[in-house]
Amino acid sequence: MANIAKKVSWSGRGEDRGERTPLLNGAEDGKYNRKDIVRSRPKEIPHNEKLLSLKFESLDYDNSENQLFLEEERRMSHMGFRCLEIRRWVICGLIGFFTGLIACMIDIAVESLAGYKYFVVKQNIDKFTELGGLSISLILWAVFNSAFVMVGAIAVAFIEPIAAGSGIPQIKCYLNGVKIPRVVRLKTLVVKVFGVICSVAGGLAVGKEGPMIHSGAVVAAGVSQGRSTSLKKDFKMFEYFRRDTEKRDFVSAGAAAGVSAAFGAPVGGVLFSLEEGASFWNQMLTWRIFFASMVSSFTLNFFLSIYHNKAGELSSPGLINFGRFDSDTVQYNLYEIPLFIIMGALGGMLGALFNLLNNWLTIFRIRYVHRPCLQVMEAMLVAAVTATVSFTLIYFSNDCQPLGPDHTEEYPLQLFCADGEYNSMATAFFNTPERSVRSLFHNPPGTYDPVTLGIFTLAYFLLAVWTYGLTVSAGVFIPSLLIGAAWGRLFGILLSVIASSQSIWADPGKYALMGAAAQLGGIVRMTLSLTVILVEATGNVTYGFPIMLVLMTAKIVGDYFVEGLYDLHIKLQSVPFLHWEAPATSHWLTAREVMSSPVTCFNRVEKVGTIVDVLSNTSTNHNGFPVVTHTTGHDEPGKICGLILRSQLIVLLKHKVFVERASSRLIQRKLQLKDFRDAYPRFPPIQSIHVSQDERECMMDLTEFMNPTPYTVPQETSLPRVFKLFRALGLRHLVVVDNENRVVGLVTRKDLARYHMGKDGLEELHLAQM
Amino acid sequence: MANIAKKVSWSGRGEDRGERTPLLNGAEDGKYNRKDIVRSRPKEIPHNEKLLSLKFESLDYDNSENQLFLEEERRMSHMGFRCLEIRRWVICGLIGFFTGLIACMIDIAVESLAGYKYFVVKQNIDKFTELGGLSISLILWAVFNSAFVMVGAIAVAFIEPIAAGSGIPQIKCYLNGVKIPRVVRLKTLVVKVFGVICSVAGGLAVGKEGPMIHSGAVVAAGVSQGRSTSLKKDFKMFEYFRRDTEKRDFVSAGAAAGVSAAFGAPVGGVLFSLEEGASFWNQMLTWRIFFASMVSSFTLNFFLSIYHNKAGELSSPGLINFGRFDSDTVQYNLYEIPLFIIMGALGGMLGALFNLLNNWLTIFRIRYVHRPCLQVMEAMLVAAVTATVSFTLIYFSNDCQPLGPDHTEEYPLQLFCADGEYNSMATAFFNTPERSVRSLFHNPPGTYDPVTLGIFTLAYFLLAVWTYGLTVSAGVFIPSLLIGAAWGRLFGILLSVIASSQSIWADPGKYALMGAAAQLGGIVRMTLSLTVILVEATGNVTYGFPIMLVLMTAKIVGDYFVEGLYDLHIKLQSVPFLHWEAPATSHWLTAREVMSSPVTCFNRVEKVGTIVDVLSNTSTNHNGFPVVTHTTGHDEPGKICGLILRSQLIVLLKHKVFVERASSRLIQRKLQLKDFRDAYPRFPPIQSIHVSQDERECMMDLTEFMNPTPYTVPQETSLPRVFKLFRALGLRHLVVVDNENRVVGLVTRKDLARYHMGKDGLEELHLAQM
């Protein structure tokens, strides 16, 4: 892969707006004096997929157990902890409720808008079919699509670029412990919801399911904090949960609630959250996540049933409804299993092809399509092309099917078909993708012509490849399912042609389901959670085993060629993502080799000036500082006695907790954990804190605020061992010490993430401040 | 709870047979000279539930990354690791296959034996109903039952006591990291399978599902090691996996495969394994577990379909078949949800009652029923009483139901009913429990009289309480489901009486299902995995949400009164079981307070005599020894430089790896990892190793064999922090050091397990060498 100029990234156009994400942990504060900010477009940095960005920070999943924290915990009674636990359950309930509500809103908005669009276009087509002049209909359709997409794309590109795409890679990173700037903000949620309504209504080859996961995560991050920093509204609730540890747990519940609402799959949601995010499995946490999922699905179900005037019937647990596979037709035979495996392999290959094409396209986009207006224009172009391709295919298709009395098509297009018939290609194209999937699963045998399906598969495949990665909020689940359902049904039809005698072949819907699973599995490479999601979404357990086989095969075959789509996108953003285990052949590396050194340390009682200078040093930009007993010089490192974070130091400086002012302690309030929580998560940057020349000479006693028992490892520890400790406990800083307990280095996420398995064994990525 | 004499424990009658479990890690080697073994019954130690046994050791889930290990890992190529990974998958496939096969065997054996029994008894009853003299039938039935149960109980009580019960508490402990002696041995498996066949065929109120989980775990432990120590057969396969780390992972796959085969619930199996056992969630491991589950369910399905002459139909994925809930009748309404919650609460209370009664009974048994012959007699008594109670209830029941054309009862008893009718009580009692559950779920409304159900519930509840904990292999799942299904159906019937107009009430089967879930949840207190198991076993997703609600409510209500059944039994055995988190109010404890000290340390180069003396000291009986640079005296501890295990020292002593013999290294083979693996898991006891007086003066260099990078924590670390590290990484020894890196203490499992939440806050358990 050649070096390419990298301009667009998840943190968006930070540079243009004067944001200095790496330093400020996503803070936006324009009040302070910034001489060193380059307002002009910065020099283009060559991008290479072998790079690792230093821009992304880790979450502090490890509690800083300093004296303040311990005092608070020790003060708390047994009852206090029980109340906390109840509050956690309440929060999870709220997360589920609001996520379900958002899902409901999206569903109703999309259905209404798309319904209106298809109604108008169908009227128009019906009118012009006899008169001639269908090109006017085409233009109408294309304009409709482009207009919707334009509005959505503008919102995303100009207001909040992080809301683009499905958000699943971002949430995956967040749950992995990477702080992606602005990913769980209220603004992102608003833009995301608005954007996804526009893009689905705009007829793009996208789904509204993926974004639900992101939405759920944002809801969780908001609700659990009991305030909105963007709205400057603090409800004074849930203050205990204002730290990364708790927040990340809630975000995993939110992601699960999102999956649950999207697919009506509460268990699938829990498994998704665990498969993609968790490292340490905690039973109580899992149950809370499960609860959030259940509430979310139930809320959606409840409100949709009211909307559909069937209050209390609870028949739509998810955004997508795959329809019911009746139990009498649901069966498979032993000799079909090899066929399913073949489909899985096919899905793996097609998925890999999808990912490869999309990967190239994304690199192209990173290089050339980085201005917001260009991005909006591309999105509009795709919308217009989608309409045109659909229209052309419908126009030239002569696959007419009789319109049965119980037809499921809401907008059957007659076009040039005889009366009482409808165009079969239009079922697939002139519909929201969810409906098309359902038709492919359930329409009786003979509904689709093989040629129609073949052409549709090809066209939709290319459209979906082009669409994913556009600057619109949209998911890839439904397009994948649709592509797979189409070729799966084709596969089923071909089989029934070959073995025409067997009645079992007569159900192409089964093969459509397997194809959908294979294609989706080939693209996103999930197994356990996806199996459960599909089982729950189809409401059928019998197909669980074949679906599992198909997904496993798809994953194995797909992994042979290229990684999963989400992983590719994560890689393209150079995120220091930690996998489950260290690379297998990394035992020859030790902590001494991977650690960063020398380490900037502080003394237990340190001069304010030194601290300010270190924090202001933009070239190093460290976030965690070992505290040592005494540093006599740079040559001899001091003995470790604690670890303090940049954010803690900032709060200390802001409150001017200096030894010299201790005498006036009586009038000065003692610093409490609350002060740290109030500043969380957007700690002010060091530049915003004014420290006078006199104050620079003061001393700060860190003893009370540092974490006195940071995890340490000896220098000889092997990389896998370091990795395991780091990953299992969700650490941000791991101090490497010699046998005298003197600090010799610091291991952070980037030190571990840069070693990965390449084609020829272990590879080391380069680090780049992007 | 008063102190009671404790005689029977999971490790069985170890003392009688001269086994010294704590010291030997379960080794049985009678060749060495043992002067200190008390052949007579040892003095009775008072048992108290506030005790913690020192008998149980931890598994070494943390790899000892010594030089040998690192050398081997570094030698291995990328391809080598890939082969290992493939081998792991193969093993999981084999685990699934053999587990499925065993399940199939159990099923066929039970069905045949029980079928034969019911056939003979029915013949007899039919004969004597008209003639009079039904007491002969009763005696015949009781004798049949007692005979079966006697055979099973003798096998368990005299051959392998650890095979008693469902085995779930034991597997739970094993997955928690506790080494339960003999729990995963071949002999245990054989006795377990034989015992469960006998006890189910003997008509006890037991199920064959629980023991499958234990069976799967044994299969896993056996297959993954590629040899059987009991059979002295080494297949020279899978030698790499001969250590606790790998074995425990495979055992979790085996447990999942067992659940999967028992209930036809592969996803439920995975979740069970994770909910009960896992601490660190690893994606690849989870997928392998899932694979094993799937294969297991498939194997069972395949062979059973052949057995039932319907090859290839794959309709019985599990041992239990709840029958199909048809999708047209499957629905629930919003206003039913409060009813479900009430049922959940009821289930929680009944479950708590069950657990309390059983707990008292178990304490009684521990005190008085500890001789094998007494145990066998009790089991026979229960079998006879079960038959008598059943017979009496059937006899006095006058609930006759017409025998429909498609009746599901295989042995409909007419008794005093009119021709063409059958005794409804007999459906519930004169049947294997699995069939009774199915009847309760699916028989049409009106099949059961409320009085019949009420009496049945009461009788079966008491029988089940009495039965669980007998010295037979049997599970509690099915009896719980049966009790719950009975009162659930009763609940449904009562509801339909109250609101007779609503047709939705007309399905008592739904309430039977909810009752079953509530009762089972109230007893075992699982939520997520049980929801999925029930969903998979019923083949129906729609009821997922109400089942989840019911289970959650049952758990919350039940936990208010008493712990779950398995946890109670674990507690009664004084197992140092680690929960998910440290007690909430334990922040005021630090490592300094919880650690054991002083610690027996070794020098890097240590005198053989010292090592032998330390290892032979039965009063301390340590298993892990920090290695320090030099110990000048007892007052000043040395700097830590490694950790070595008893098992490693034993192997070193056996191979006489002394410094003085290093000169003859050319002729002496260098010790390899293989030597350690060959000795695993039954390392010989120190007494079996002969060390001459000359050799005692030799020196041993531990550098190459010790783990040079053990995890350490400073003394000030809070208990929750220590706990988290210990639990997340599955440690066995955690060294506590001062700020000079000198060893000051050692934290092991028992140090952490003894702090637990009591009624009045944090309690500390006492330690007892039992």
Mean pLDDT comparison of A687-701, B154-168, B317-331, B343-357, highest-scoring range: B343-357
CA atoms of A625 and A627, how far apart (whole Å):
6
How many other CB atoms are there within 10 angstroms of residue B410's CB atom? 16
Residue of B73, B294, B761 with shortest CB distance to A78: B761
Express each pLDDT in B687-717 by its tens digit: 888 888 888 888 888 988 999 999 999 999 9
- pLDDT score of A676: 86
Express each pLDDT in A43-93 by its tens digit: 444 455 667 777 788 888 888 888 888 888 888 888 888 899 999 999 999
- pLDDT score of B137: 85
What's the whole-number mean pLDDT along residues A636-656? 88
- pLDDT score of B585: 83
What's the whole-number mean pLDDT along residues B376-385? 93
By CA distance, what is A758's nearest residue in B? B78
Q: Is the pLDDT of residue A654 over 70?
A: yes
Q: Greater confidence, A761 or B289?
A: B289
Task: Tell me the pLDDT band of A39, cut-offs 50, 70 and 90.
Answer: very low
Task: Tell me the pLDDT band of A19, cut-offs 50, 70 and 90.
Answer: very low
Question: B267 and A528: CB-CB below 8 Å?
Answer: yes
- For every residue of B633-683, DSSP letters joined together read -SSSPPBEEEEEEHHHHHHHHHTT--GGGGGGGGTSPPP-HHHHHHH-SSP
With beta carbons under 8 A apart, name residues in chain A contacting B535. 267, 541
Q: Is the pLDDT of residue B415 over 80?
A: no
Of the candidate ranges A105-119, A135-149, B41-55, B460-474, the one whose mean pLDDT is the lowest: B41-55
Sole residue written with tokens 């699963």: A441
Residues forming beta bridges with residue B402, ordered by sequence position: B421
Task: Tell me the pLDDT band of B313, cut-offs 50, 70 and 90.
Answer: low
- pLDDT score of A10: 60
State percent of chain A over pLDDT 70: 87
Express each pLDDT in A188-229 by its tens digit: 999 999 999 999 999 888 988 889 999 999 999 989 888 877
What's the whole-number mean pLDDT along residues B503-519? 82
Cα maximum dimension of chain A: 95
Q: Is the pLDDT of residue B35 over 50?
A: no
Residues forming beta bridges with residue A165, ordered by sequence position: A473
Of the candidate ranges A623-632, A700-709, B257-266, the one whose mean pLDDT is the lowest: A623-632
Residue of A709, A717, A728 with shortest CB distance to B729: A728
CA atoms of B631 and B522, how far apart (whole Å):
55
State percent of chain A over pLDDT 90: 34
ipTM of the complex: 0.88
Residue of B279, B314, B587 with shortest CB distance to A73: B587
- pLDDT score of A28: 35
A541 touches chain B (CB under 8 A): yes
Express each pLDDT in B281-292 by its tens digit: 678 888 899 999
Of the candidate ranges B39-53, B549-563, B577-591, the one whose mean pLDDT is the lowest: B39-53
By CA distance, what is A270's nearest residue in B? B528
Q: Is the pLDDT of residue A25 over 70?
A: no
Which of A66, A78, A722 is the best substitution to test chain B (most B C-beta atoms within 10 A)? A78
For B655-765, where are the alpha helices, taking DSSP H only? Answer: 673-679, 693-696, 719-729, 749-753
Q: Is the pLDDT of residue A474 over 80?
A: yes
What's the whole-number mean pLDDT along residues A123-147? 85
- pLDDT score of B4: 45
For B132-209, where are the alpha helices, taking DSSP H only? Answer: 134-154, 168-176, 186-201
- pLDDT score of A21: 34
Question: B334 and A311: CB-CB below 8 Å?
Answer: yes
Question: A545 and B266: CB-CB below 8 Å?
Answer: yes
Peptide bond into A211 cis (omega under 30): no
CA atoms of B117 and B433, how far apart (whole Å):
14
Q: How far is the CA of A343 from the CAs of A22, A444, A490, in angstroms?
A: 45, 21, 11
- pLDDT score of A26: 32
- pLDDT score of A22: 36
What's the whole-number mean pLDDT along residues B447-454? 84
- pLDDT score of A215: 95
Average per-residue pLDDT for chain B: 83
Task: Tell me the pLDDT band of B434, cut-offs 50, 70 and 90.
Answer: confident
Looking from the CA of A353 toward its CB, the CA atoms found within 13 Å total 13
Task: Tell me the pLDDT band of B29, cut-offs 50, 70 and 90.
Answer: very low
By CA distance, what is B62's nearest residue in A? A721
Q: How far is the CA of B345 from the CAs of B519, B553, B566, B663, in angstroms?
A: 9, 6, 20, 74
Q: Which of A516, A584, A576 has the alpha carbon at shortest distance from A546?
A: A516
pTM value is 0.89
Q: Is the pLDDT of residue B462 over 70?
A: yes
Beta strand B761-764 pairing with B755-758: antiparallel
Q: Greater confidence, B292 or B769?
A: B292
Task: Tell me the pLDDT band of B146, cut-offs 50, 70 and 90.
Answer: very high
Q: Is the pLDDT of residue A29 over 90?
A: no
What's the whole-number mean pLDDT along residues B330-351? 88
- pLDDT score of A352: 96
User: A349 Cβ partners below 8 Å, 6+ apart?
Assistant: A522, A557, A558, A561
- pLDDT score of B399: 74
B77 touches chain A (CB under 8 A): yes
Task: Tell me the pLDDT band of A715, cut-offs 50, 70 and 90.
Answer: very high
Of the candidate ranges A496-505, B31-40, B403-412, B632-641, the one whose mean pLDDT is the lowest: B31-40
What's the whole-number mean pLDDT along residues A283-298? 89
- pLDDT score of B245: 86
Distance from CA of B395 to the nearest CA of A (A): 40
- pLDDT score of A4: 45
A709 touches chain B (CB under 8 A): yes
Per-residue 3-state assignment (H helix, E strand, C coil) for A570-629: HHHCCCCCCCCCCCCCCCCCEHHHHCECCCCCEECEEEHHHHHHHHHCCCCCCCEEEEEC
What's the whole-number mean pLDDT along residues B518-540? 88
- pLDDT score of B358: 95
Q: Is the pLDDT of residue A165 over 50?
A: yes
Mean pLDDT comparison of A623-627, A635-639, A663-667, B34-38, highest-scoring range: A623-627
Question: B544 and A324: CB-CB below 8 Å?
Answer: no
- pLDDT score of B766: 77
By CA distance, what is B312's nearest residue in A? A334
B302 touches chain A (CB under 8 A): yes
- pLDDT score of A216: 95
Q: Is the pLDDT of residue B565 over 90?
A: yes
Q: Is the pLDDT of residue B761 over 80?
A: no
- pLDDT score of A284: 84
State percent of chain B over pLDDT 70: 87
Task: Tell me the pLDDT band of A312, cut-offs 50, 70 and 90.
Answer: low
- pLDDT score of B558: 95
Which of B72, B577, B718 is the best substitution to test chain A (most A C-beta atoms within 10 A)? B718
Task: Tell me the pLDDT band of B2, cut-offs 50, 70 and 90.
Answer: very low
Average per-residue pLDDT for chain A: 83
Q: Is the pLDDT of residue A398 over 80?
A: no
Express each pLDDT in A517-575 by its tens digit: 999 999 999 888 898 898 888 877 778 888 988 999 999 999 999 999 999 999 888 88
- pLDDT score of B257: 95
Element (H, E) at A349: helix A337-368
Q: Which of B265, B274, B268, B273 has the alpha carbon at shortest distance from B300?
A: B265
Q: Greater confidence, B361 or B543?
A: B361
Q: How far is the CA of A768 from the CAs of A56, A666, B208, in angstroms?
A: 11, 48, 60
Task: Tell me the pLDDT band of B1, cut-offs 50, 70 and 90.
Answer: very low
Of the candidate ranges A161-175, A534-548, A741-755, the one whose mean pLDDT is the lowest: A534-548
Q: How far is the CA of B745 from the CAs of B364, B600, B736, in angstroms?
A: 39, 9, 5
Distance from CA of B572 to the nearest CA of A (A): 23
Q: Is the pLDDT of residue B409 over 50?
A: yes
Contact B746, B733 (CB under 8 A): yes
